[in-house]
Structure 1
Amino acid sequence: MLSHGLNIGKNRENNTKIKGGNYMEKFKKQLAAFISIVLIVGLFGTSVFAETTEVDVSGETPATAVNGAASTLELVDFDKVDAKEAVSLLLKLGLINGKVQADKKVAYEPDAKLTRAEIAKLVAKAVTLVSKEEIKGTKSFADIKGNWATDYIQYCADKGIIDGAGGAYNPDNNVTGLETAKMLLAAMGVEGLTGSDWAARTEAAANEKGLLKGTKAVNGTPVDRDDAAQLIYNALTISDGSSKLPQVIVVSETTEKASFTIGKNTLVTAPEFKLVTMVADGRETQMDAGTYNNVTLVVTDKLKTNPASFTGRGIEDYRAAIYVDKNGLNKSLSVTQAISGGTYTDTEASGIKIDSTGRNFKGIIVNGGEYTVKDSTINLIGKADGSDTSDFTGLGSAVAAFSNAKVTLDGVEINTEGVARTALFTDSGADTMITDSKFKVMGGTLYPGYVNTADQTKMVAPPWVLGITGNARGTNLMGNFSTATVVRTEATANQWGVLSTDSGSNMLLTVVDSVLTLLGEGQKDPYSTNYGSGYGTYIIGDAQEYFYGTTFNVGTYASILTGGKAVYASSKFDKPLDIYPLKQKLTGRTRTNSTGEEEEVYDIVKEDTPVFTGITGQGKITTINSDAFGFMAHNNGELVITDGTVVNTDNATFLIKAGDVQLTVEDGAQLNTKDGVILQMIDNDDSIVGVDFSQGAPNFNTDFYEKAGYPDIDYDIDVKTDGGNTVKFNATDVDLKGNLYNGTGYFGGGPGGGLQPADKLEVTLGKGATLTGTISATSVIHVDENGKQNTHFTINEYYYLGHVANKVHYNGGNDISVTIKDGAVWNVTDTGIITSLTVEDGCKINGTIKVDGREMTVADIIAKGGTVKGTIEVSKK
C-alpha cells in the first residue's frame, strides 16, 4: 500500500506468500518502482553534476542508478578526487551528486570539464541554499531558449552574478576557472570585476579572499570538476552571508561557546557522515538566525544504514538526545547535552526531561535492544513545516523504535508541535508499550506550495479524499509484525489521527482503558463541531487492532478500515492481558495465484512468547463519540463491535466506500446515530476524485464533480453489476434503531475512469437481535450540511466527502440479501427494496412484504422453504 488514501485494486487474501517475500512488501516495492519510473522522466538531457531531483527508489533500485550519489561512498572514483573535503560537503548539501555511468554506477570524474550552463545551476543552488528562494529569472540571452538551465541562467543574471557577451551566454561552452571565480565573487558581493582587465581583477580578488586555496589551476582555461568543487566550497565557507552567497559554518567536533551568532544567510553544518546539533541553555535549539548563549555545538555520527522500513527518503538525519542500539546507549549518536534531570543508563531513563525547539530533533531512538523510560517528559516544540519531517520514517518523532526493539514508556508526558511529529513511532518489528502516560501532538503550518499527495517521500498531511484534514498523527505503527500497546493513557492529536498504522503488514495495536481525542484547533469543518477532523485509528496492511475500555472523541471517524481487523470491547478481563506479537507460519502448501506466480501458503499466528504481560483492565466499556461517522472502510477488512460498546455519531455508524467488509455488532453494543443511518454504502469517492501522475508523483486531484440529480432516477446510467464487493452485516444480542442503505454502482473511478461496480450487502439478524428501521437499495447524491446536493466542491471542502442523501432505488446491481434467524425481529419503519429475504420459523418482520409486486407474509415465505428472491419491497404496516 503506497499510503492510506490511495487504493489500487483489492487486498489479496492474507494467507499466501509470494516466493521471495510476502505480498504486501512486494506490492509496495512494485508500486514504488512504478512511481520511480515516472519520476525519472525528465532527468535525461542534463548533466547530473548538480542534479538533485528527488526520486523514490524505495529500496528497489540503488540511488546511483537513477539520481547520482547521495554520499562519497557511492562514488566509484572518489579516491581520484583531490578536493575530497569539498566534494564531500557539496554532496551532503545536495549541490552535486556525480555522473551516472553506462553501468549505472556513479563517478565524480574530477578531471572532466564544466559547461557554463552547469556552473549557472551550481551557483544558483548555492545562493539559494539557505533562503530556498525559487530559482527563476527574467533577464535572458539570445541562445538559452529551450535550454535545460534557462531558469538557473536567468536567475544568476538577475542577481548580477553572470553576464554574457554580445547578447549571448554560450551555455554549452566550457567555463573557465576565472569565470567561475568571478561568478562566486560576484555572489559574495565583490564589485568591479568588469572591463578588459576583469581577469586580473578577478584573480587578485580571489587571492585576497582565499578563494583559490586548495585549487590546482584556476586560470583562463576550462575548469575541471575538482577545482570547481573546491572553489564553491571555499566561497561558501569564506562568505560572511552578508551578500547573496550564504555563509556555511562547518563544525568538525563538539564545541562550547559562551555566545554564538547565526546570520540570516548562514548554514551551520558538519562534515559528511556527521551531524551537528546546537544546545543552548540546556535545550536543543533550531539553528535559526539569532544570538544564543551557553551554547554547545554537538557533533554526532550520521547513520549509514536505514533503520526505517520505508526507504524512499533515503537515510534520514536522525538526531536524538538518547540513541540506543542492541549494545546499549551509543554516545557517538546521542546528544545527551539536551537532557536535564534524572538518570539514564544503557537500559533505562528515569526522571529525565528533554526540551527542544528544533524542527526535527528526536527525544529517544531505540534501534534494537530493550529500553525503558519512566516518569519523564519530552517537549519537542519546534516550527516544523513538513519540509524536513516525516512520520513514515519517524524523523522528528519524540520516541522511535526500530529493528525488533522493545520499548516501554511508563508515566511519560510527551508534547510536540510541528508538522508530522508523532509522539511514538514503532517500526521494523519493534514492540512498544506506553502506560499511565499522556501525549499531545499539535501539528503546525504546512510549508508554502505543499501538494496533497500519496507519495510517502513527501506526504505530511492526510489525503483529502479521506474527508479529513490536519498534519498531526499521535503515533504511527509500521513495518512487518510490529506492535504498539497503549494502556491508561491520554492520547491527543490536533487533526489527522490519534493512533495510526501505515505501510507494513500484520501489525498489532492494543489499546486499554485509554482516551483518544482529536482537538480540532484552527479547523473549519461544519460537521466536526466538538472534536478535530480525522480518525482515532487507522487499520491497514492486515493489521489487528483491539480496543478495550477505550474512549474515542473524534471529529470524523473512530477508525478507517483499509485491510485488517479491529475489535471494540470492554476491559472486563477475566485475567490479565498478555500481548503476543503476530508471526508468519508457513503451511508447506503452495498454489498458483491469478498472475501465474507460485505462492507459498502461510497462516498468521501469535508468537509463542508474550512481549508484554499482566495488563489489567478497569472494567470500562468502549465508548465512541464522533461528530460525523463511526467507521469508514475503503478496502477489505473486519470490524467487531461487541461487549457493550457504545457508538454515538451524528451520521452513519458505518460508512462503506469499498471492499469486502465484514461487520459484526453483538453482545449489547449500542449504535446511536442522530441521522438514523446505521450502514451507508456508497461508491468510493476517493476514486471519484482521482489521482494525478502528471507531476511525476501520485498527487490527488483537488476537485470533486457530480452530475445534478439522482443517478438512474433523474438521469440514466449503465450499471456495472459484475466485479463488486460484498459487505456482510451481522447482528446478535443487540437492539438496533436505524437504517441500512446500499447506494453503490453509480459513479466512476475518477476523471476518465469507468463506473465502479455495484456492491452487494448481506444482512443477518441473529439470536437476540432486533432492528427497528429500513433496509434498502438506494440511489445517492452528495449533499452539504443543509441537505443540498453538492455537484462540485474542492480540497478546501474536504469534509463534504462521504456525506450523501438516499432515495429508494434498485439499479440492478446493488443487491441486498436479508436473513432473519434464531428468533430475531425486524420492525420496518419505511419502504425499502431488497433482493433476497430468508426468514426462519419463530422470527418476526413487523411490516408489509411484496415480492415482485405480490404481497406475502412471513408464514408464506417459510412455507416456500424460507427464502424468496426478486424485487422485494418491505414497508411499514
Structure 2
Amino acid sequence: MRKRPGQLLLVLVTVLLPCSALTAVAEARALTDLTCGSGQTLLISQTIYMHRLTVAQGCTLAAPDGYSLTLTVNGIETGQRLTATGGAATAIQPGTYRGDVVLTVAQANAISWQGLLFPFRQALYVDNSGIVRARSVLAALLGGVLTATTASNVRLVSTGEAFNGIYVAGGSYLLEHPMISFQGNGRSDFVGYGAAIVGTGEGTRLVVDHAFINNSGAVRTAVVAEGGANVIVKNSTIAVRDGILPADYVPTVDLAYMESAPWMLSIAGNVRATNLLGVNTKATYINSTLSSEGWGVLSSDVGQDGQLTAINSTLINTGSEGGYGSYAIGDAVERFLGTTFDVATYASIIRGGTVFYGDSTPTAVAQLNSALDLGLSAHELAQLPVRATVINSRRFGVMWHGPGAVTVTGGTLFRTQEATFLDKGQAVTITVDGSQGARLLPANGTLLQLMENDDPGPVMVNGKLVNAGVYTEPSGLPVKDSSFDVTAVHSSDAVATFSQIALTGNFFNGMRGDMNMVLTFNKARLTGVISASLARHAVSTITSAHYQQLGEVSNTPSPVINNGVIVTLNAGSGWTVTGTSYLSKLVLAPGATLTAPAGHTLALTVDGVPTPIVSGQSYSGNIVLAVR
C-alpha cells in the first residue's frame, strides 16, 4: 500500500528561504534524501517517498492550504507533536528519519468545534462512497485488505500525537480484525481528535469485529461514536492507559481544552476508553473487554438522547486512583446486560440519563438487536450465553450529580465497598426488582446515601476556567424551612422502590436542603436503619489534593429538619429496625411487619407521643423508631 523507495515519481518541493524567495528544488526524479535546514519552510505539494528525511531545528514542513502532511517511517506514523498546549495543530519534530520514509499529502479533514479547528489526519477515511484515498494516509496501513465496504486485518501503529486511525463518516462499513497501537497523546475526545476509531454522522453504521486496540496517551481514546452514527463493537479487546500531559497543562472543565478527568467527581486519569457524542448516537459493545487506567471506560458526553449498551462484556479500571465504568448525560439511555464491572470508584455516574442493569436473556438481547440495528445473526445470538450483570466496585455503586434513573433487574449483583447508591442532592428514581435474584451488598452497610452535592466546581483564574474549586463543609445545623412539606412527595425528591428482595443495610437522608427520601418496599424485607441524618465529611475542607474525600461522609441519625424520610411497607414486606430511625411519614399496609431484632423491642413515638405499631396504619410527623 506504500510506493517503494526508488520508484520514479513527480515531486514538487518548494523552499521558502528566510528572504521569502521561492525555489523548486526537486522534480521528476527518484528521491532518496530530503533535508530541511534551519530557518527553512518546505512546502510539500505531493506525497514523497524517500530513504532519509532530515529536519533541522527551526525547519518547518508544511502542506498547501486545504491539505495535511503526515510523516510515516516503515509504516508507522511518527514524529508529529502538538505545537502548543491547548492548541490543535501538529508539526514534524526535528530529527533524522531513516527507512521507508513517506511524507503523505492528503486533503484536509478539518473539524470546527468550540471555536477551535481540529485538523484531523487519519490512516483511513471512509464515507458513503467507500474509501476516500485522497483523505487517507495509506502509508500508515501495515498490511490488510481494503474494499469499499470492508477493511480486514489492518494494522496501525502511531508514536506521534493527535493522529487518527480509522475515520468513518457515512455509509455502512465493517472493520474485521483491526490491530491498533497508538502511543502518544491525543488532544480532544469531545471530537475524537487522536482516537483509534471514529464513527460519525447520521446514517453511518460502523461494525468493528475482533478488534485489538492498545492505546497509551492523554485523551488517546480507542472508540468515539458521534453525530448520530451507529457504532457496533463485538468480540474485541480495548485498553487505554494514561499519558503524560504537558507540564503547563492546567486542569479544566472547559470542553475545548479539557484533557483530564475532573477531580471534583473523585476520579483521576487522562484518557477515556470510549466516548458517545452528539444527538441520537448509538454505541454497543458485545462480548468485549474494555479497560481504562482511570477516568472512564464507557462514556456519553456533549449530546442528547444517545444510547450506550454493553452485552456480555467486561469493563475494567486498571488503576487505583479513581475511575468509572459508565457516565450518563444528556438523557442518554445506557443498558448493561450480562456485563461485569471491575471499577475503582463508580459503576456509573449519572448527570441526566437512565441506566439499566440486567441479564443477557435471549429475549432482552433479541429486542436490542432489533431496536439498535445490531445486525447479530441467529448464530451469533445463539452463541451468547445468558449472564447476570456483576458490579465489583472498590468504592461506590451508582453516583448522581445530576438527575436520572436506575433500574436493577435479573440476577444483577452489586458488590461495593461503600454505598450502593450515592445521591448528591439530585432528583432520582431507583427501581430494584429482586424477583430473579438481584442482590445489593455494600461492605460499609449503606444502601442509599443522600448528601449535599460536594462538587466544588471550577473557578475563573485569569480569565480561564480551571479546576481549582474548594469544598468547605457547612457549619451548624440546617435552619428549618417551614414551607417545605417533609411528608409529601415532590418531583425533586429521591424516590426508590424495592420489590421481592432481601436487603441488609442502611438508608440515610443527610440533606440539609429541601429534599425527601421516599422509599417503597413491595414484598421486600429490610434489616437495617432508615433515617434522616447529619452527614459529615472526614475532612471539612477538600481541594484537589484530597479529591478522594469527596463523597465520604459519616452519618449521625437525627430528627428530620428539611430532609423528610417517607417509608411505605406494602403487603408482604417487613422491616427489622436495627437502630434508632427518624422518619417523617410511615405507611404500614395490611400484612406488613415492623419489628426489632430478636431479644429487643421496638418503640414508636410520633411527635413525642408513644404510639402502637399497627399494620394498616399511616403515621406522619416527627417519627422515632427506637430499639430497646
TM-score, length-scaled by structure 1: 0.63
Cα deviation code 1:715-764 (max 9, x no counterpart): x656697598200111001111110000011xxxxxxxxxxx33111000
Q: 1:699 aligns with which of 466, 469, 484?
A: 466
1:875 alignment counterpart: 626
Structure 2: runs of 5 or more not aligned = 1-13, 23-34, 80-91, 485-489, 597-601
Task: Write the distance in 2 (CA, Å) between the matches of 1:239 and 1:322.
Answer: 28
* Offset of residue 361 of structure 1: 0.9
| From 295, 316, 320, the counterpart of 2:101 | 295
The alignment status of 1:392 with 2:161, answered yes or no, reads no
Partner of 2:593: 844
- Contact 1:540/1:564 (CA < 8 Å) preserved in 2? yes
Pick one of 306, 319, 329 that aligns with 1:507.
306
Partner of 1:556: 345
**1:498 maps onto 2:300 in alignment:** no
Letter of the 1:290 counterpart: G
Instruction: Provide the residue aligned with 1:475 in structure 2.
Output: 274
Unaligned residue ranges in structure 1 (runs of 5+): 1-84, 90-208, 215-237, 521-527, 582-605, 746-756, 784-789
Aligned to 2:241: 442
Residue 249 of structure 1, CA deviation:
3.2
Aligned to 2:213: 414
Q: Does the 8 Å CA contact 1:720/1:758 hold for their aligned counterparts?
A: no
Residue in 2 aligned with 1:760? 516
Rounded Cα–Cα distance in structure 1 between residues aligned with 2:609 and 2:482: 28
Q: Which amino acid aligns with 1:261?
A: T
Give distance in 2, aligned partners of 1:548 and 1:721: 43
* Aligned-partner Cα distance in 2 for 1:504–1:645: 28
Q: Work out the CA distance in 2 between the residues paired with 1:852 and 1:336.
A: 77
**Letter in structure 1 aligned against 2:447:** I
Distance 1:647 1:857 in 2: 36
Q: Which of 673, 690, 697 is the aligned partner of 2:442?
A: 673
Deviation at 1:337, TM superposition (A): 1.0
Aligned mates of 1:456, 1:732 — CA distance in 2: 41
Percentage identity across aligned positions?
Answer: 33
Map 1:254-653; keep pairs closer than 5 Å: 254-286=47-79, 287-293=92-98, 294-303=100-109, 306=112, 311-382=113-184, 384=185, 389-404=187-202, 405-520=204-319, 528=320, 533-574=322-363, 576-579=365-368, 610-614=373-377, 616=381, 617-653=384-420
Conserved in 2, the CA contact under 8 Å of 1:398 and 1:414? Answer: yes
Shift of 1:702: 3.7
Q: Are the counterparts in 2 of residues 721 and 812 from structure 1 also a CA contact under 8 Å?
A: no
RMSD of Structure 2 on Structure 1 (CA): 2.3
CA distance in 1, matches of 2:210, 2:77: 23
Amino acid at match of 2:296: G
Q: Specify the code of the residue in structure 2 equivalent to 1:362.
A: N
How far did 1:794 drift? Answer: 1.8
C-alpha deviation, 1:825, in angstroms: 0.8
Larger radius of gyration: 1
Please give the per-residue CA displacement for 1:443-492, whole angstroms capped at 9, x wherever unaligned.
Answer: 20111232222211001112111111101101000101000010010101
Distance 1:305 1:685 in 2: 36
Q: Contact 2:231/2:284 (CA < 8 Å) preserved in 1?
A: yes
CA distance in 2 between counterparts of 1:547 and 1:285 reads 38
Kindly provide the CA deviation profile for residues 791-844 of structure 1, in whole angstroms up to 9, marking residues without a partner as x. Answer: 223212211100001111235210010000021111111111010000101111
Q: Secondary structure at the match of 1:396?
A: coil
Deviations 1:246-299 (A, max 9, x none): 554332211112111223443432122111001101111123332111210000
Distance in 2 (CA, whole Å) between partners of 1:679 and 1:576 is 30
Distance 1:210 1:842 in 2: 92
Q: Which has the higher strand share?
A: 2
Q: Deviations over 1:657-697 (max 9, x none)?
A: 032100111122111111110111111111xx133235334
Paired residues of 1:719 and 1:811 also in contact (CA < 8 A): no
SS of equivalent to 2:546:
helix
When residues 839 and 267 of structure 1 are mapped into structure 2, their CA distance, relative to the original with a 3 A threshold, is: farther
CA 1:841–1:212: 2 relative to 1, 3 Å: closer
CA–CA distance in 2 between the matches of 1:419 and 1:210?
36
Residue equivalent to 1:140: none
Change (3 A) 1:811 1:262: farther
User: What are the superposed Cα offsets for residues 592-651 of structure 1, whole Å, 9 maximum, x if unpaired?
Assistant: xxxxxxxxxxxxxx6xx8353446331111000001000100111110111111011111
Partners of 1:537 and 1:559 within 8 A in 2: yes
- Structure 2 residue aligned with 1:795, among 522, 528, 544? 544
Task: Find 1:814's aligned residue among 563, 584, 587.
Answer: 563
Distance 1:415 1:577, change over 3 A: same
Secondary structure of the 1:796 match is helix
- Give the match for residue 533 of structure 2: 778
Counterpart residue type for residue 447 of structure 1: P
In the TM superposition, what whole-angstrom CA distance separates every residue of 1:360-392 from its partner, at most 9, and x where no partner exists?
Answer: 11110001111101112011112x2x6xx1000
Q: Aligned runs of 1:44-63 on 2, under 5 Å?
A: none
TM-score of the two chains, using structure 2 as the length reference: 0.87
Would the aligned equivalents of 1:473 and 1:495 in 2 still touch at CA under 8 Å?
yes
